[in-house]
Structure 1
């Protein structure tokens, strides 16, 4: 069933998962649209069963759009097992397994995808683009930049950074279908074949390095010609003090509200003096 032609059709349709998104059952319409070519071919000899099968797919479904490819592959494999049931009891057991796979896999894939694609790769791509532009002489800290067009070479180089996100997303969309289809519950339908936590960890550390570099560049740019006085040094020390204290209060599980109130009072006194 899962030949190249079907794989390609499911892959292309996966971009429309969010189509028909609703507050009642979320991505159920998009999932049903994606799976229809597969279901139509699978039940070509039993078209009377297709309405009931489609109803199952119209139930609640919600996951991260890119990671949904693992769900698509796994549900296709499970649906083949349902279609091959030999008895009513066997059919009910396989449907129950299908429902469990859909529910559990969608939650797991959403957790990984939210942290990887939306919480890590998208911000990292933006930081990478800004860093590339700064290296090419496009200084975002200059107001005059708003009045002059961005050089074409700098624009193309910065825009190329966004292919980092797109290349990873397209790879996961394509391979996830195959991996999910060829795997089983023991590997969480292929999700455990990748060290997602390590990937997220390394990407976040890279993002922190780029963000720290941009912050240092900004501090240098704004204060390179500034004469430091006692007021500036005092306020800088206060900022550093509260940053350090925030880490301590987090470990001691002290409510941040008290820290915020103390910071507001002390900064107001410092500004008044």
Structure 2
């Protein structure tokens, strides 16, 4: 893939979600991203372009970062379609394109949701909180009237933002190049990375950081206590209860959304009381 082509797909892929709709999801964003590439590929056969665009306007939905693997693979397949030598070869390539369009988007969506939304975002949030503590901002004892330096307030957030997007941009850029050159038997480059191991290790790091944050909070609230803080104990018990229930619902394959809604409702009632 030429650098100019890769750069065009990379920049335009940031608008993948811009045309999101309930009927066909990211189809408009996909078409917008691929449009310059398609125009160049069919510049000598402009009459074919409308039917080509019709294919890209079908249902498409995946993770916005991992979509780069779909873009590279579809671009490579589109080149083969444009240079098909016979009608049977053309139909065969179209069927292969449809398979890539459908199956690869599902695979990348699964990986992206677990890696970026389910792991990396919470992990960078914990990173921001620990940076606050390292800078001397003890958010466990903040009271009305205490001012936090502007640098401290935005520094931790900026660190989390940069960390998350550094990983996302790397995957987005490399995904285009790898999927364009990789073969189908390697799932268009997806198998070059051990995604499950990466997600597993990142989640374990997140658990360690979360436990560390909880222990620090418990230490802060209990270090100088003269009497039992009923509110603190109640909230701590509720947190532990929902953590234990989350393991049970996971085993039973019950959607955690219901557990989150219950937790929010319970916490709001307890805090109000």
* Fold similarity call, TM over 0.5: yes
Correspondence 1:178 to 2:177: yes
Report the counterpart of residue 163 of structure 1 in structure 2: 162
Report the counterpart of residue 140 of structure 1 in structure 2: 139
Gaps of 5+ in 1: 265-273
Structure index of larger Rg:
1
State the Cα deviation string for residues 213-265 of structure 1 (Å, max 9, x = none): 11111111122222356x89x97997799689758966996x9x9xx9xxx9x
- Aligned-residue RMSD, C-alpha: 3.1
Q: Once the 2 structures are TM-superposed, how far is the Cα of residue 21 of structure 1 from its aligned partner?
A: 0.4
Could you tell me how far apart the structure 2 residues matched to 1:119 and 1:128 are? 15
Correspondence 1:80 to 2:92: no
What SS does the corresponding residue of 2:143 show, helix, strand or coil?
A: helix
Could you tell me how far apart the structure 2 residues matched to 1:173 and 1:77 are? 17
Count of residue correspondences:
257
Could you tell me how far apart the structure 1 residues matched to 2:118 and 2:8 are? 29
Q: Is the 8 A contact 2:137 2:148 kept in 1?
A: no
Matches within 5 A, 1:205-220: 205-220=204-219
Report the counterpart of residue 13 of structure 1 in structure 2: 12
Could you tell me how far apart the structure 2 residues matched to 1:179 and 1:252 are? 36
Q: Once the 2 structures are TM-superposed, how far is the Cα of residue 161 of structure 1 from its aligned partner?
A: 3.1
Superposition TM-score, scaled by structure 2 size = 0.84
Q: Is the 8 A contact 2:129 2:156 kept in 1?
A: no
Pair 1:124–1:242, CA change in 2 (3 A):
closer
Q: Is the 8 A contact 1:132 1:158 kept in 2?
A: no
Report the counterpart of residue 51 of structure 2 in structure 1: 52
Report the counterpart of residue 186 of structure 2 in structure 1: 187
Matches within 5 A, 1:20-35: 20-35=19-34
Q: Is the 8 A contact 1:28 1:57 kept in 2?
A: yes
